[in-house]
Amino acid sequence: MLTLPVAELATSFGKRGATPKVLATSATVSISKLNVDAALVSHGGVKHCVHSHPFTQLGRQPVKATTELHVRTIQSVYRDPLELIWTETARELGMTIERDTTVFASWNGRGVLQIGTPETLDADDSLAQMIFHEVCHALVEGPEAFHKADWGLQIDNPAHRVHEHACLRLQAALAGPYGLRELLAATTNFRKYYDALPDDPLCSDDDPAAEMARCGWDRATAGPWSSPLQSALGMTAQIAAVVKEVAPADSLWSRTDADCQRL
Q: Is the pTM of this model over 0.85?
A: no
pLDDT tens across 106-153, in order?
Answer: 999 999 999 999 999 999 999 999 999 999 999 999 999 999 999 999
Compute φ and ψ for 24, nearest 5 degrees: -85, 125
215-223 mean pLDDT: 96
On whether the CB atoms of residues 180 and 237 are closer than 8 A, the answer is: yes
Q: What percent of the chain has pLDDT over 90?
A: 67
231-254 mean pLDDT: 96
